[in-house]
Structure 1
């Protein structure tokens, strides 16, 4: 039998003696009543950009789907396998979530691949290459390094791809209809791993801005 990673077992031990102990009743309630998360988060697989950590959310608060480069494919009911689309369908239709956030991040390896495709696929299936092909036409519109640095190009595509994914969300009838009724809200966010800065997308202009975050009220 393959040995389970020791670091994970140690983490589990700390979890059980720490957070689980503190929130035991909440876990039990969630087990009995089911989940009712307030937000769906479409984020990247990158281990440095975990939404639950960034937004300090507890169990049952976020419904998270993570894929390479936090992409949302267009609506394609073609009988193939669509993991992100399935998660979106469940979040909207079953969980009745009405806020969806597409969150990208700085220094995304998937976005880098879209800008500068690998000479050779990582495997014969070339799953990453095909997945990032959704951004091929968009990446080609980002100016070359003769005008922008490589880092500037990457940040630009990281943010443009968020807007692209939000546009793709609107191709899903269940999302489009609810948004038109005013009962669904779509959001974009970009997290800078190196500084911890969070930028959010202005719904009207598509620009990314630093949000004003209210300080917690002092108790009397």
Structure 2
């Protein structure tokens, strides 16, 4: 007997009968030769914004890192345990990734917490609060603008946070070096959960709707 969630078992059965059956040879090749994705996607762990679904990625096509609010810390080789930094290091040094996409999304719970002056920790450890402190003074600066509604402030901070994470990403010396050599491109994107729209960051830092 077990108490493993039945809906996950049902989903796996559908996977085996559907996608795995269709892509069996490709998946087996990936198992033998390893992964060679060209793009890393740093996204939020929100269950509504799965990069593989949004970009219709197949097995082995994207190296995906998900954390609360898709934040990237600055380069801190201080001997600590840095999961996000470790994934970035592996993507660049181990997989020779050519593109890094930092993708935020609408209605992000982490961003909402950062903007909430009455935020109270879910637990005494307050891992969320400490993690979101990476945004520094940005939430407070937006919160003082009384001409913006709460939803406007949240969307603005979701996008500003992407730019902030890109700035932090460039503090990794090998990221900056590879960008300068034209061997790595860093991108920003924002996904609207309610409409499915994708907005991408242009060279000036503005978010635009791409044309197909």
User: TM-score, length-normalised on structure 1?
Assistant: 0.94
Note the 1:1-220 alignment, pairs <5 A. 2-144=2-144, 146-203=146-203, 205-213=204-212
Q: Distance in 2 between the 1:50 and 1:131 partners?
A: 21
Deviation at 1:138, TM superposition (A): 1.1
Q: Distance in 2 between the 1:75 and 1:152 partners?
A: 31
Deviation at 1:139, TM superposition (A): 1.0
Point out where structure 2 has 5 or more consecutive residues left out of the alignment. none
Question: Quick check: 1:117–1:129 contact (8 Å CA) kept in 2?
Answer: no
Q: Distance in 2 between the 1:117 and 1:3 partners?
A: 40
Point out where structure 1 has 5 or more consecutive residues left out of the alignment. 214-220
Q: Distance in 2 between the 1:7 and 1:106 partners?
A: 27
Deviation at 1:145, TM superposition (A): 5.8
Q: Distance in 2 between the 1:120 and 1:166 partners?
A: 28
Deviation at 1:192, TM superposition (A): 0.2
Deviation at 1:93, TM superposition (A): 0.2
Query: Bigger CA drift: 130-139 or 20-29?
Result: 130-139
CA RMSD of aligned residues (A): 1.1
User: TM-score, length-normalised on structure 2?
Assistant: 0.97
